[in-house]
Structure 1
Amino acid sequence: MTTIPAARDVRTTPEGILWAPSERWVRGRTGEITVVDSTNPVLVWEPGVPVPLYAFPRGDVREDLLRPAKNPRTGTHTGSRIFYDIELDGVLLENAAWTFPVDDLAGHIAFEWFRRAGRGLEHWYEEEDEIFIHPRDPYKRVDAIPSSRHVRIEIDGTLVADTHRPVLLFETGLPIRYYMPREDVRLELFQPSDLSTGCPYKGTATYWAWRGDGDEPADLVWSYPEPLPAVAPVKDLLAFYNEAVDITVDGERLDRPVTPFTSKRPGRA
């Protein structure tokens, strides 16, 4: 379900796409080649997609690098009208750009971000700040606040963490995440994972998997060794997926929430 931003400048198309003009200076590039450079991007929220993407006026795009897609994708990006491959130094980035079949976005081109889709442009910048995975949603907040609540974490009845000094991370659209000092977590019950994920709000996370029995999802626990400045208080702390463990806060057992992480292997926290 798409999160609907509550702002006067957000428009809705008959196809269910939400979009809003952005005043940020945005560039996308691979290697030393800048493919798009715009101070007039628009943010686009597709139906059923919880995070936004950017689309850009054609005049801000290096259209000389675009080629009609050899094998255009189907069933993606809200009935995309035209897909493009991007040719950079003889390398073809397939289906890396497309247009939307909606009047409001006529004359705009959207792009895949490599770190989100595994294809597309490698580096993206808002002003001089490099952004990873997808654009930051201006209608979303992420706050990391130290607390003295008593938080206990159990997995299949086994106490795995107990702290009176958590950092609570409040992120629009997600349950509270309880970040805990390592010395308050029985980390010997977990094993390091090779999973690493990026978040445009928090940084790059590393993960641990449960060593015990049961059908718990892999990569239940994560940490941000070098978080972005906005969430600096969570540095090196550990958090658990509320969707897969039992959390008790000040003596009250929390219900397990239903989120995009409930029914699939966790991929981003």
Structure 2
Amino acid sequence: MSPLPTERSLRTTPEGLHWEPSERWVRGVKGDVTVVDSRHPVLVWEPELPVPQYAFPRADVREDLLRPAKNPHTGTHTGSQIFYDLEVGDERVANAAWTFPSADLADHIAFEWFRRPGRGLDHWYEEEEEIFIHPRDPHKRVDSMPSSRHVQVEIDGTLVADTRRPVLLFETALPTRYYIPRQDVRLDLFTPTEHHTGCPYKGTAEYWSWRGDADVPPNLVWSYPEPLPAVGPIRGLLAFFNEAVDIIVDGERQERPVTPFSATLKPSSPRGPAPA
């Protein structure tokens, strides 16, 4: 017998939006002003975005800080109806918020967040933890597990890493990432870069690029020096993009996966993508 639907069941609107209530306490801050403070947010998935966004009941939003958008970005969100500029003090942020036309979400306001720096609020918090890039997806798992597998990494035939003490990171819908102790990586073959990215599941990453002549993308290697507690075992370890290097696990050469990152992993790319 199938379980009955619950209040947390995923719902679908005629416009193709998927949404569900969240029980997390979410706050958004601009400067020293709290613009959003909600214990009843909803998570919304747009058809063209792989990650969720939050929308909030109007009563939980400082609507007195919102102004009708001077130049509304129509068409940037699924069925978006009304855009707002955010005005805090002397600063005005264009198209910082919007509404969805769906009847289910008519009394909610969404804010820019996902990969749009400078277009939204300065900080977001779930409970007391700051969240970056986008909200965490409750239907996605990220697990880091110490292992004794024999993992080797080659670039253009050169062995650059060899370990029997990796940490394997399993993330829904992405290939396994192999995090390797620094002592087991030929870091002398790489150069640290100024590139950094944030991940809501793992934290802030730092990068290295290959110093050799191989035709590989920049920012090929990354590490989380201060990972979030949930993935603490990867602290300070190094990972390589499976899509761009050769990885051998227990003597078996792995096929290079095709992922959403593959298109941006090009030798001519000035910057690498956010790591997975």
TM range (shorter): over 0.9
Which residue number in structure 1 is paired with residue 86 of structure 2? 86
Cα deviation, 1:100-131, whole Å, max 9, x if unaligned, reads 12222111110013875332101111112211
Separation of aligned partners in 2, 1:50 and 1:104: 21
Tell whether the 8 Å contact from 1:40 to 1:57 is kept in structure 2 after alignment.
yes
Q: Distance in 1 between matches of 2:118 and 2:207?
A: 20
2:193 corresponding residue in structure 1: 193
Find the counterpart in structure 2 of residue 145 from structure 1: 145
How much has 1:79 moved relative to structure 2? 3.2
Q: Secondary structure at the match of 1:194?
A: strand
In the TM superposition, residue 185 of structure 1 has moved relative to its aligned partner by 0.7
| Cα pair distance change 1:114/1:143, threshold 3 Å | closer
Q: What is the alpha-carbon distance in structure 2 between the residues aligned to residue 153 and residue 75 of structure 1?
A: 44
CA distance in structure 2 between the partners assigned to 1:58 and 1:251 by the alignment: 57
> Could you tell me whether the CA contact under 8 Å between 2:207 and 2:221 is conserved in 1?
yes
Distance in 2 of aligned mates of 1:264 and 1:221: 14
In structure 1, list runs of 5 or more residues that go unmatched: 1-6
Calculate the aligned-residue CA RMSD, in Å: 1.5
Distance 2:184 2:119 in 1: 40
User: Normalising to structure 1: TM-score of the pair?
Assistant: 0.94
In the TM superposition, residue 75 of structure 1 has moved relative to its aligned partner by 3.0
What per-residue deviation string (whole Å, max 9, x for no partner) do you get for residues 74-109 of structure 1? 331213111111000110011110111222211111
Q: Which amino acid aligns with 2:117?
A: A
* Structure 1 CA distance for aligned equivalents of residues 74 and 248 of structure 2: 45
Do residues 267 (structure 1) and 273 (structure 2) align? yes
Letter of the 1:213 counterpart: D
**Amino acid paired to 1:267:** P
Residue 268 of structure 2 is matched in structure 1 by: none
Per the alignment, residue 134 of structure 1 pairs with 134
Contact 2:8-2:21 within 8 A present in 1 as well:
no
CA deviation vs aligned residue, 1:120-177 (integer Å, no higher than 9, x gap): 1011111122111111111111111000001111111111111111000011111100
Describe the SS at the equivalent of 1:216.
coil
* TM-score, structure 2 as length reference: 0.91
CA gap of 1:88–1:115, structure 2 versus 1, over 3 A, is farther
Residue in 1 aligned with 2:202? Answer: 202
Q: What corresponds to 1:230 in structure 2?
A: 230
Residues 8, 20 of structure 2: 8 Å contact kept: no
Identity of aligned residues (%): 73
Contact residue 114 and residue 134 of structure 2 kept, 8 A? no
Residue 36 of structure 1: CA displacement? 0.9
Q: Quick one: distance in 1 between partners of 2:113 and 2:174?
A: 23
In structure 1, what is the Cα distance between the partners aligned to 2:40 and 2:57? 7
- Name which of structure 1's ranges 66-75 and 115-124 shifts more when overlaid on structure 2: 115-124
In structure 2, give the amino acid aligned to 1:176: T
| 1:104 counterpart residue number | 104
Cα shift readout 1:212-252 (whole Å, capped 9, x = no counterpart): 22332211100000111111110110000111111110111
